[in-house]
């Protein structure tokens, strides 16, 4: 991507609904055959709630040769308010939050968890590093009900919304784009989605940005992971800002990242 540079900002009206970082590694069978007692002891002050979940692994080869379905177990450590979730399985560790404020805070939590994990389980190396941002633009929350989507979403990003013959007829639309960047790859899903949230009394059309930045190149346990994630974070900021208009940018109430408490 050859996107212009933008000033890094922190939005007071943060549109992020979820941020996930996942680090994959060659399988460590001990994780799926032993409960992570030592790991829990190290993280339970921040993540006191614990639960397990199982999910099916159904690779195409298993289907093709009629082999039995495989199951894997995920150990989930949650913060007391359930806004942070630290998960480990035999082949990945992931940190998920619905309370993202700024990258430095998120990264520090991740560093602490990964250092503990590496000390206890000593993964050989990382096979995939991913950082995923999900933003949801809900006009009623931003006092923008009187604005058309063409006033908020860049014409370069979604030209259909700027087509006078087509825009008024569009109810929902979703695009999937695969991009290659110098630091890795990006899977981007974006478009208009229907929101029916009875708890928060929201029933309207919103705009979803779902960007997954990742690399599948081998990364050693020497700090390169954090350099990769720093670059993904910068690319994510530039992509989002390029995708929206000045009107939406202003409505999100940007503050300079250099002057926001860190």
Q: What is the pTM of this model?
A: 0.89
168 and 249 inside one domain? yes
164 and 245 inside one domain? yes
Number of folded domains that form the chain:
2
Q: Which domain holds residue 114?
A: 27-124
103 and 184 inside one domain? no
118 and 132 inside one domain? no
Q: Which of 76, 102, 124 is the last residue of a domain?
A: 124
94 and 7 inside one domain? no
Q: Which of 81, 103, 124 is the last residue of a domain?
A: 124
Mean of the per-residue pLDDT values for the chain? Answer: 90
Cα separation, 178 vs 155, whole angstroms: 19
Q: What angle do CA 235, 113, 103 make, to 5 degrees?
A: 25
pLDDT tens readout for residues 53-98: 886 555 554 455 454 445 689 999 999 999 999 999 999 999 999 9
116 and 193 inside one domain? no
Q: Which of 90, 124, 158 is the last residue of a domain?
A: 124
pLDDT tens readout for residues 201-256: 778 999 999 999 999 999 998 778 999 999 999 999 999 999 999 999 999 999 98
CB neighbour list of residue 232: distance below 8 Å, 6 or more residues apart: 131, 183, 184, 213, 214
Cα separation, 244 vs 174, whole angstroms: 16
């Amino acid at each position: 991507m050859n996107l212009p540079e933008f000033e890094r900002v922190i939005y007071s009206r943060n549109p992020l609904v979820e941020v996930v970082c996942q680090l994959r590694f060659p399988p460590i069978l001990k994780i799926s055959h032993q409960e992570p007692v030592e790991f829990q002891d190290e993280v339970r002050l921040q993540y006191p709630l614990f639960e397990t979940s199982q999910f099916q692994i159904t690779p195409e080869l298993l289907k093709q040769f009629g082999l039995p379905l495989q199951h894997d177990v995920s150990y989930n450590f949650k913060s007391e308010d359930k806004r942070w979730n630290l998960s480990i399985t035999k082949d990945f560790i992931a940190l998920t939050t619905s309370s993202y404020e700024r990258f430095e805070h998120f990264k520090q939590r991740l560093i602490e968890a990964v250092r503990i994990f590496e000390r206890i389980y000593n993964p050989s190396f990382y096979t995939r590093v991913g950082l995923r941002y999900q933003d949801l633009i809900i006009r009623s929350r931003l006092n923008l009900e009187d604005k058309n989507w063409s006033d908020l979403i860049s014409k370069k990003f979604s030209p259909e919304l700027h087509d006078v013959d087509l825009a008024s007829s569009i109810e929902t639309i979703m695009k999937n784009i695969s991009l290659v960047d110098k630091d890795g790859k990006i899977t981007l899903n974006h478009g208009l989605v229907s929101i029916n949230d009875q708890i928060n009394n929201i029933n309207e059309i919103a705009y979803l940005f779902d960007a997954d930045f990742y690399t599948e190149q081998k990364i050693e346990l020497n700090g390169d992971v954090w350099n990769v994630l720093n670059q993904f974070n910068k690319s994510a900021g530039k992509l989002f800002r390029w995708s929206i208009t000045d009107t939406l940018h202003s409505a999100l109430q940007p503050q300079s990242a250099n002057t926001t408490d860190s």
